[in-house]
Structure 1
């Protein structure tokens, strides 16, 4: 069983059904690895071992009777801490919610369970899911398996770290500002941010919140693109409000071979300059695509002002999350908005304006977004994929000092605000597009680097298939050293 832990979920589920390994044996294999490696990573922060063993036993007994629970029959997996799972804590890293134990499941969780999954644990997050690190007062800090001194990303950092280290078979996260894609990039795994609205987020919310937040999505993280496709097929579909009249039918991938893809390549942008070695890595992918026969352009872009797109994203993002702001925080943001000494183009200023947006002003921004959606739609009439970075660099050292918007990272020898790299998350996400992050190579320091493949709205399978092909023909999942 030496490499079981790095196999794809698709392969593991198949092994269970073919009875090459029992669900109980596979669960014990992962639990043994959690015991050995999780203390250094702190990726998985809650487990129900007794319940998981009971479900594994039931899965094996069902197979013996000829029953098939679904495509994930008996597969051990984890989920992000922010999903409701009956009997488990859902805190979002907030100390005041440490005793919040929901009695029902998130819709995504129910769909995974209905497909046969065995959810044995939950993975770490930053407070309010609002950082590209994963630390909080309840569970502590999650480390990157490639280098424990580095962040695994966030907010699904525990998910990506657990997958990379071979502690789980599959995972599910959420994404509003890169929270699936960023950790996938930093840890060298696969993550898919679905088209907005195709996977219900019900039950992935703070207590008492039932409305669907703008921009936010939930989706899979995995060690293969095949697993992303499998998981998306399971969890995507209308919520209970729409189920009576609507059915989701995602189109198949546009292309079946790399040589047939039309790919626009965007290596950097003034809104968020990208580390040169990361640009070189993505250029290497672009060159490999061209050698494979794909149509590749380094100039094709949607007709959108990227600086304005970034500003619009921050305003809409902070409007979408403004309900979490306390009265004290709102008073602070009013002071920020009124302070003429603060740069109006700074992240702090934009955050303040977003939190305080009046609805009429939000409608104006939403209309501006609609214009950008049309521009993207026109772009995808000619191009299948926009290939771009997922962040501005490889993973960086833990930094928990002060406020997130004040922290800096080093890019091309210069200090850059860490929040600037949210441009690469928001550029496709603000306009509801699907995007997949997949391994693309490694930095000179040996850290994973990911590509981000953006596809047209509703064409999730095109982005995932593109990444399946790049993993097969250019660069795929590689395990971090020391986790054999």
Structure 2
């Protein structure tokens, strides 16, 4: 039988199809890994082993008969515990949902299963998917495989930790403020935030169970150890949902170029509004230099004609409008009665104003976003991709203090507000752009660092292709020391 450990999804599917291994053997490998190491990581928080084993055996029988269920035939995997999966509870880390058992799969999950996957478990997330760390009162704290004293990011922290621990080769995460990209960066894996709207997100919590409304900004997307596996998963999941299917089809453009030398790449690795740790900024600069050495046209001064502070205000206001729906009614009323001063530009004040604004105000902010989107579109007429930070720093030690807005993190020796950590992800997320994260190196403390490869709206394949070029040039995923 072929070796299973640390192989990617594409390799495992090929091995299963060729008879070099079996779906059940891969499932057993993952279950053994979880048994041996999940106690230290706490990424996988629920399993349905009986159903997974029955499906794995059915997949192996199909293989023996020369039948394939699809491009992911026989691949066991885990799913972020924000997506509804029949047979397992879907809690989104919230105690009030600990017994919520859905009667249908989330649409993205359904597509993965129809392509041949076997969902054997769920991975941890912060309560209501609302933090840059992953802990909750239902399942406890998830640790980073590179340093268990640090968090794996959030909200797809369990997803990224599971991929980095070889509990799975492929994961389904979600992202409304970096929740795929931040954990990929912290755990040294790859992740893709698709263009807004191309992967159906029905069956994701939040919103409420059974909610059919497509949330603003939020997307579903894959995490894996290789960019090729991200591409494979995106091909499976992307496309019109059941409501739109009768009228349109998705046809993503191919990468803009085939050769590295033909790419025009902008590098934006620091900004006064949201300072970046020197080691992180230097690694991003080095990644650009590496591509330049391979013939790409690289410009480290090119910027879209936006003001980062204004961009963040627009994004965070619209994010607040989306998330504010779930605020307790008493808090909503207090914010309406005594809104934060318009001159207060702190994260908390921006959120407080946005969470309770009227629809007419929202339309004004949405128009401001449209103008930002136009600026980005014109920028991508001159450049194919932008390389920029995922977050200002690498993974940080656990901090579960109650005052979320009062938390701080040091950047180059200066304490910065905790919410500053989402500025770089929010800049690209709020305007619906695709972004692929790929590892590019490590800090002096040995913690992984990823870079965002951002492309024009609906040009996901260009972002993925440049990320793959970086992966080839710089080595991509590395096994965490605790597993070597």
Same fold (TM over 0.5): yes
Q: Is the 8 A contact 1:81 1:92 kept in 2?
A: yes
CA contact (8 A) 2:163 2:225 kept: yes
Deviation at 1:357, TM superposition (A): 1.1
Segment of structure 1 superposing worse, 214-223 or 468-477: 468-477
From 218, 221, 224, the equivalent of 1:222 is 224
The C-alpha deviation readout for 1:354-387, integer Å capped at 9, x for no partner, is 1011110100010011111111110001101100
Q: How does 1:406-421 map to 2 (within 5 A)?
A: 406-421=406-421
Q: What SS does the corresponding residue of 1:395 show, helix, strand or coil?
A: coil
State which of 238, 241, 250 in structure 1 corresponds to 2:240: 238
In structure 2, distance between residues paired with 1:336 and 1:82: 33
Matching residue of 2:189: 189
- Rounded Cα–Cα distance in structure 1 between residues aligned with 2:39 and 2:351: 36
Consecutive unaligned residues in structure 1, runs of 5 or more? none
CA contact (8 A) 1:5 1:167 kept: no
Deviates more, 1:125-134 or 1:205-214: 205-214
Gaps in structure 2 of 5+ consecutive residues = none
Number of the residue aligned with 1:164: 164
Shift in Å, 1:156: 0.1
**Cα pair distance change 1:2/1:151, threshold 3 Å:** farther
Q: How many residues align?
A: 482
Q: CA deviation at 1:87?
A: 2.0
Confirm or deny: 8 A CA contact 2:202 2:211 kept in the other structure: no
SS in 1 for 2:32: helix
> Aligned match of 1:301 in 297, 300, 303?
303
What does residue 259 of structure 1 align with? 261
Give the distance between the partners of 1:223 and 1:463, measured in 2 at CA. Answer: 16
The separation in 2 between residues aligned to 1:218 and 1:229, in whole angstroms, is 14
CA separation in 2, counterparts of 1:18 and 1:229? 22
Mean Cα deviation higher: 201-210 or 431-440: 201-210
CA offset at residue 160 of structure 1?
0.2
Structure 1 distance, partners of 2:151, 2:187, is 9
TM-score (ref. length: structure 1): 0.98
Q: Which residue of the partner structure matches residue 276 of structure 1?
A: 278
Query: Which residue of 2 is the match for residue 345 of structure 1?
Result: 345
In structure 2, C-alpha distance between the alignment counterparts of 1:244 and 1:453, rounded to whole Å: 33
**CA offsets 1:221-277 (integer angstroms, 9 cap, x no match):** 000000000000000000111100100000011122222211100011122110001
Following TM superposition, by how much is the alpha carbon of 1:451 offset from its aligned partner in structure 2, in angstroms?
0.6
Task: Extract structure 1 runs of 4+ deviating beyond 6 A.
Answer: none
Q: Deviation per CA, 1:26-68, whole angstroms, max 9, x where unpaired?
A: 1101110010000110000000111111111000000111111
The residue that corresponds to 1:312 in the other structure is 314
Q: Distance in 1 between matches of 2:399 and 2:330?
A: 25
Any conservation in 2 of the 1:38–1:44 contact (CA below 8 Å)?
yes
Q: Give RMSD over aligned pairs.
A: 1.3
* 1:452 CA drift (Å): 0.4
More off after superposition, 35-44 vs 465-474: 465-474
Does the Cα contact within 8 Å between 1:343 and 1:349 map onto a contact in 2?
no
